[in-house]
């Protein structure tokens, strides 16, 4: 994976956060998902493939992660 331009990323956080800055934010990119800590948005986010996120979610739902 090369350098991914996040300058136009639209960061979102869960509506369950209640507007607080103590949660995870995500940005959906072409083929990737960027994840960052809302308390430290200046730090480099974790960028993973959409397929990797999907595999992770399937594993959690199946009880394989934990």
**Is 28 inside any structural domain?**
yes
**Is 1 inside any structural domain?**
no
pTM score of the predicted model = 0.76
Give the tokens for residue 53. Answer: 């996120």
**Is 7 inside any structural domain?**
no
**Is 51 inside any structural domain?**
yes
Number of structural domains, the chain? 1
**Is 19 inside any structural domain?**
yes
**Is 32 inside any structural domain?**
yes
> Which residues lie below 8 Å from residue 63, measured CB to CB, with a gap of 6+?
none
**Is 17 inside any structural domain?**
yes
Residue 17 in contact with residue 26, Cβ under 8 Å?
A: no
Question: Taking Cα atoms as reference points, which of 44, 43, 26 lies closest to residue 35?
Answer: 26
Give 31-47 pLDDT, tens digit per residue. Answer: 899 999 888 988 999 99
Which residues constitute the domain of residue 28? 12-61
Give 13-30 pLDDT, tens digit per residue. Answer: 877 776 666 788 999 998
**Is 29 inside any structural domain?**
yes
């Amino acid at each position: 994976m090369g350098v991914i331009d996040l300058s136009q990323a639209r960061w979102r956080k869960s509506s369950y956060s209640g507007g607080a800055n103590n949660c995870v934010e995500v940005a959906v990119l072409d083929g990737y998902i960027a994840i960052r800590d809302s308390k430290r948005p200046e730090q480099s986010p974790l960028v993973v493939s959409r397929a990797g996120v999907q595999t992770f979610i399937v594993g959690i739902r199946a009880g394989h992660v934990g």
